[in-house]
Amino acid sequence: MLSTITQNKEAIIETVFEKSHFCFVAVDENGIITFLNDNYCRFLEVVREEAIGKHVTEVIENSRMHIVVKTGEEEIADLQYIRGNHMIANRIPVFSDGEVVGAVGTVLYRDTKEWMKMNTHIKNLLLELENYRKQLRKQTGASYSLHDIVGSSVKLNEVKEKIIKTSSGDVSILLIGESGTGKELFAHSIHQLSERHNKPFVKVNCAAIPEHLLESELFGYEGGAFTGAKKEGKMGKFEMADGGTLFLDEIADMPLNAQVKILRALQEREIERIGSEETRKIDVRIVAATNQSLEKLIEQDRFREDLYYRINVVRITIPPLRERPEDIRVLAKYILRNISNRTGNRVIDFEQDVLDFFLHYDWPGNVRELENVVESAVHLTNSEIITRNDLPEHMQPEMVFKDHRNSLKDILEKTEIKAIRAALRQAGGDKVKAAKLLGIGKSSFYEKTKKYGI
């Protein structure tokens, strides 16, 4: 009797996981694939034995299974783009004794024809939605939304969630992040998610406008206000953004005299054109961005403290690319696809060696540098697959030794720093685990991190 029950259970499990039309995947607490059914293997065109044991992001495009393992929160009926199709995915964490020990994911469809019909319908709706988005972008000037920010790492998702929470209000937001992290894309996204989304989005690059022109650019001027002024006068950025969002990029480079006038405009909610004695009421939301420490600039009397508190109501820090390495692979492939489509060059993928190098490279220029590297490689390669030889010269291994200023000690230190950072990324910031990965003692590891300020 017991044997019959066991056989029946095994038959049910085999029917559910192998003979249904669903795709199943299971991962452990580290996001490593432990099970992949035949349907999913066929759909992904992978060999089960080769897929099992790999990290889920290496096998399944745009997977979030590793995120579910970390958060312990299920994701039901999520739209996932896999191999050119929009699939409906469910991801459920598996608990044992109150701890997350893995996750099970399913991709749902009944048969190929039915799914293709559904997928075509979804694509048609998405194209229609995109058309409306493009029309709105032309009207308002905001070109991007959160959907354009590629990545699903924990750190990036935390930023996205914070933006979703704060965008609906009118509070000023300060975006902090290194050059190339995509601060402007986040500023666009804040506007798109706000109640002002159908009003203007106006950008001011505070570092690009000459100091003597900054006031007229921001507040405008009346006709004949100064030599060379237009007869009809000119509207300033504040007036142009009335009712919408004013994005002050590189605000740390704004001259002190302009800071005083911006502060007054924000406090009084009114501006005065150059050459005019009348004030004009304005209603703008401020989103500012900088890659510098405003606190240090305040100490140096280069930035006004009262303006700092006015723009720093909500502070959002954009993580550099090196702090979210799990996004690098999908981001590189996304960039490659866009560049290949734009240039007409048929380049479809990277060699594994290139992707491995990308994961261990520090990316001082962040996403912008990654875009430049991929675009350069697309133009340099002679095949459909980008190899290590197609990367720029400074990324070639032998270039380390061509710089005669690098002593052996310098080279070894740089190599140690990269190895330590890579180990910490792999260990999720756990220093004890990172030390074990490098095969060195805990005290030695702590000494090195202190020495290099890591």
Task: With beta carbons less than 8 A apart as the criterion, state whether 33 and 52 touch.
Answer: yes
Rounded distance between C-alpha atoms, residue 428 and residue 433, angstroms: 9
Other CB atoms within a 10 A radius of the CB of residue 427 amount to 16
Note whether 165 and 309 are same-domain residues.
yes
Report pLDDT for 64: 93
Mark which of 317, 346, 362 sits at the end of a domain.
Answer: 317
Note whether 56 and 160 are same-domain residues.
no
Note whether 243 and 272 are same-domain residues.
yes
Report pLDDT for 215: 84
Note whether 352 and 371 are same-domain residues.
yes
Query: Residue 1 falls within a domain, yes or no?
Result: no
Task: With beta carbons less than 8 A apart as the criterion, state whether 249 and 206 touch.
Answer: yes
Rounded distance between C-alpha atoms, residue 145 and residue 193, angstroms: 8
Residues 6+ apart with CB under 8 A from 354: 386, 387, 388, 390, 391
Amino acid in position 77: A
What would the pLDDT profile of 6-33 be if each residue is shown by its tens digit? 454 555 555 555 556 678 999 999 999 9
Note whether 190 and 218 are same-domain residues.
yes
Task: Give which of 60, 72, 5, 67 is closest to 33, Cα–Cα.
Answer: 60
Report pLDDT for 135: 65
Q: Does residue 128 register a pLDDT over 60?
A: yes
68 phi and psi, to 5 degrees?
-60, -40
Query: Residue 130 falls within a domain, yes or no?
Result: no
Query: Residue 121 falls within a domain, yes or no?
Result: no
Q: Residue 429's domain is classified under what CATH number?
A: 1.10.10
Query: Residue 137 falls within a domain, yes or no?
Result: no
Percent over 90 (pLDDT), the chain: 40
Structure tokens at 323: 């702090």
Q: Does residue 116 register a pLDDT over 80?
A: no
Structure pTM?
0.60
Note whether 271 and 150 are same-domain residues.
yes
Note whether 292 and 183 are same-domain residues.
yes
Give 405 or 327, the one with higher predicted confidence: 327
Note whether 20 and 81 are same-domain residues.
yes
Arithmetic mean of pLDDT, 366-388: 89
What does pLDDT average to over the chain? 83
Structural domain total, the chain: 4
Note whether 281 and 341 are same-domain residues.
no
What would the pLDDT profile of 160-194 be if each residue is shown by its tens digit? 999 999 998 889 999 999 989 999 999 999 998 88
Residue 385: domain span: 324-395
Note whether 378 and 274 are same-domain residues.
no
What would the pLDDT profile of 336-357 be if each residue is shown by its tens digit? 998 888 887 788 899 988 898 8
Query: Residue 155 falls within a domain, yes or no?
Result: yes
Rounded distance between C-alpha atoms, residue 311 and residue 305, angstroms: 10
The beta strands (E) that lie in 351-426 are given as: 385-386
Task: With beta carbons less than 8 A apart as the criterion, state whether 283 and 230 touch.
Answer: no
Note whether 162 and 301 are same-domain residues.
yes
Query: Residue 280 falls within a domain, yes or no?
Result: yes
Note whether 164 and 306 are same-domain residues.
yes
Task: With beta carbons less than 8 A apart as the criterion, state whether 81 and 95 touch.
Answer: no
